[in-house]
Amino acid sequence: MKATRSATRTLLGLFTAAALPALALSACGNADGAGSSGGSGASATDRGGGAGGQGSAQAAALDTARATFAGTGGQQIGSATLIGTPHGVLVHADLEDFPPGTHGFHLHETGSCSPDFTASGGHFNPHGTGHGFFDPKGRHVGDLPNIHVPESGSLEIEYLADLATLGEGEAALLDDDGAAIVVHQGGDDYRTDPAGAGGERIACAVIRG
Ligand SMILES: [Cu+2]
């Protein structure tokens, strides 16, 4: 985990240009808390695989998960593939019929989008850090750069969630309660704790292994 910290800094440099002024909408992360829910569930997953020895580690790093985005009306508006790598989780998403503009794009802590998108909880934050790339006290494992949807409403993106894993350790997306990808109405300002002031959730996708 320590080795990924320097990579984080590099990513931050790349993405600061994408920051836009916050939209003054209600925050999304009402259940974010101080990361109290992430740790214990993930360790249970770890122990389950412990008896199998180390040979499974590399195979697990190459695992793939998928997610399908639903809009607020329940319509399908895109899909994503998530690939576990030795350096984090590569998130490749194809979005369609999204409202043009800047939107917060995060990994949230619970693998549920129903009965509404608040079921996905707050940002995935197993280490209990602050929110945002501008926060010197760290950033959430689930923090990702904003997306910028063109007038067509279609966008293909590829992000490395460099602090996350698919199934190994404390930062595993596929822990007992899973995780989801959530898109917000407005952009993440990368500093407002705990959710980035991106406002309402306009799309949600449960990550399925
Ligand atoms: Cu969010």
- Domain assignment present for residue 144? The answer is yes
pLDDT at residue 39, rounded to an integer: 37
The whole-chain average pLDDT of the chain stands at 79
Ligand 1 center from residue 24 Cα (angstroms) = 15
Ligand 1 center from residue 166 Cα (angstroms) = 19
pLDDT at residue 143, rounded to an integer: 97
**Domains contained in the chain, number:** 1
CATH number at residue 27: 2.60.40.200
Q: Which residue has the tokens 């934050």?
A: 125
Going 14 to 92 to 140 to 105, the CA torsion angle's sign is positive
What range defines the domain where residue 112 resides? 4-47+60-208
Alpha carbon distance 192, 57 (integer Å): 36
Average pLDDT over residues 61-85: 93
Q: What percent of the chain has pLDDT over 70?
A: 70
pLDDT at residue 195, rounded to an integer: 87
Alpha carbon distance 123, 141 (integer Å): 8
Whether pLDDT at 128 is above 80: yes
Ligand 1 center from residue 180 Cα (angstroms) = 10
